[in-house]
């Protein structure tokens, strides 16, 4: 299960040269990056546009975002841990699959219908994961460039 979660999330570590005040100043001076300072050690980044994440005028779920956790390495270096979470749409697809699976199992439909539902479920997961991962990686790349982070 842990390996599956690693496939559905991003976990990357970077180094920021400077102190926490320098990081916050860099964030404030950066344009085209939407962020929310949750605490001195936690920042949430969002893209300006998020495609396919059930967001719009009425927000059912939170759009694509990347959380940054900040740790002090030494007097002039910070470790920035960028992380994403499993999207709620994946859980929604799992629930829908279970409902369809039970409905087909207790119906007179052929077993081909069951294979069709399983195939459709796999394709939907792959499609959603592709769309989310492209957006999350784009956001991570944007954060790395704007904050001038280096790989750990």
Predicted confidence pLDDT, tens digits, the chain (152 residues)? 667 667 778 999 999 999 999 999 999 888 778 899 999 899 999 887 776 555 555 556 677 889 999 999 998 999 999 999 887 777 888 888 888 778 777 877 777 777 787 888 888 888 888 888 898 999 999 999 999 999 98
Report pTM: 0.80
Residue 84 near residue 65, CB atoms below 8 Å: yes
Alpha carbons 53 and 90: distance in angstroms, whole number: 11
């Amino acid at each position: 299960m842990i390996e599956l979660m690693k496939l559905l999330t991003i976990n990357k570590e970077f180094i920021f040269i400077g102190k926490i005040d320098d990081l916050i100043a860099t964030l404030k001076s950066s344009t085209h990056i939407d962020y929310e300072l949750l605490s001195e050690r936690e920042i949430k980044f969002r893209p300006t546009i998020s495609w396919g994440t059930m967001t719009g005028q009425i927000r059912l779920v939170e759009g694509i975002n990347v959380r940054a956790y900040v740790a002090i390495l030494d007097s002039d270096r910070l470790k920035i841990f960028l992380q994403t979470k499993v999207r709620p749409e994946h859980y929604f697809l799992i629930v829908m699959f279970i409902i369809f699976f039970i409905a087909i199992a207790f119906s007179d439909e052929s077993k081909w219908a069951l294979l069709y539902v399983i195939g459709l479920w796999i394709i939907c997961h792959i499609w959603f994961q592709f769309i989310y991962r492209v957006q999350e990686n784009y956001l991570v790349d944007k954060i790395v460039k704007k904050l001038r982070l280096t790989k750990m």
